[in-house]
Amino acid sequence: MIVQLAVMILIGLIGSFFSGLLGIGGAIINFPLLLYVPPWFGLEALTAKEVAAISMLQVFFASLSGMITNRVIGRKGERYVHRPLVLQMGVSTLVGSLIGSLSSMLMSSDAINMIYGFLAVIAVILMVLPTRASMEQRVLSEVTYNRSIAVSSAFIVGGIAGIVGAGGAFILIPIMLTILKIPTRITIASSLAIVFLSAVGGVIGKIASGDIPVILSIFAVVGSLLGAPIGALVSRRMNVRLLRYALVVLIAITAVKIWTDIVS
C-alpha cells in the first residue's frame, strides 16, 4: 500500500509540473502515467474509469494551484490572462465537461481509451500547424478572436475531455493558437483558468458517477499541489518557442503510446 501511495504522489507531481509549465491541466500526462506506471511497480492496474476520475481531480487542483501561482507572479510583472476569453470559453467548457463526465458512466474502458487516443492525435495535428510569429508580441488589448468558434469549440472539447478526466487544455491550447490566433503567452496563462472551470464540471460529474478511488486520489492530488507551482515558476523563464515545441513533443509521445496499445 505504501508503494502504491508513493507512486501516486510521483505521478501527481510529474503531471502537475507540466501543468504549471505549459498551461495544461496535466491529464495529457496523467492519463497514461496512471494507466501504465502502477503495473511497472507490480501494482494492480487501474481501470480507465478510475484513471479518468483521478485525473480529473488532479486537473482540478493542479490547474487551481498553477492559476494562483501565475496570478501572484503577474502582480510583479506583465499579466497575460485574457479575462473575456476565460469567461466565454471557461463557462462553455464547464457545461460540456459536466455532460461528458456524466456520460462516461455508460461507456466501457476501451471506449474511454480510444477517445483519449483520438484527442491526442488531433492535438498533435493542430500543434504542428503554422502560426504567425508576429502575434507573439501582441498585448491583451490588441487580441481579437471569433467568439462563436471559441465558445462552441470549448463546449465540444469540454464534453469529450470530461469523458477521459481531462480539463481539455491539451487540445484547447492548439485551437487557441492555430484557429483563434491567440498569442502563446496569453494562451498558456488563460488556459489554466479555463481548465479550472472545466475541471469544476468534470469533478461534479465524476463524483456523481461514483468512480473516484478516494485514497489514491488524495495522494495523487498531494503530488499535484507540489508540482504545479514549480512548473509555473519555470514557465516564466522559458522562451515561448521552446514552450510550443515542448507541447508538441509531449502530446506526440502520448499519442504514439496510446494508439500502439489500442491496435496491438
Does the pTM exceed 0.75?
A: yes
Radius of gyration of the chain (CA): 17
Segment (H or E) for 106:
none
Report, in this order, helix, strand and coil percent for the chain, each rounded to 5: 80, 0, 20
165: left (phi > 0), else alpha (psi -120 to 50), else beta? Answer: left
Name the amino acid, one letter, at 236: R
Q: Return the closest-CA partner of residue 198 out of 135, 150, 154, 246.
A: 154
Amino acid identity, position 31: F
75: exposed, middle or buried (Cβ count in 10 Å: 0-12, 13-18, 19+): exposed
Let me know how long the chain is.
Answer: 264
Which conformational region is residue 168 in: left (phi greater than 0), alpha (psi within -120 to 50 degrees), or beta? left
Specify the DSSP class assigned to residue 177.
Answer: I
pLDDT at 155 exceeding the cut of 90: yes
Q: Which of 172, 170, 13, 199 is nearest to 97 (CA)?
A: 199
Cα–Cα distance between 157 and 165 in angstroms, integer? 12
Percent of the chain whose predicted confidence (pLDDT) is above 90: 14
CB count within 10 Å of CB 131 equals: 17
Cβ atoms 160, 188 nearer than 8 A: no
Please check the confidence at residue 98 and state whether its pLDDT lies above 70.
Answer: yes
- Strand positions, DSSP E, the chain: none
- Of 19, 6, 10, 15, which Cα lies nearest the Cα of 169? 19
Question: Rounded mean pLDDT of the chain?
Answer: 79
Greater confidence (195 vs 156) lies with: 156
Which among 37-41, 211-215, 244-248 has the top mean pLDDT?
Answer: 37-41
Q: Which three cell numbers stand for residue 197?
A: 472551470
Of the listed ranges 78-82, 101-105, 132-136, 256-260, the one predicted with least confidence: 132-136
What number is the average pLDDT over the span 92-115? 89
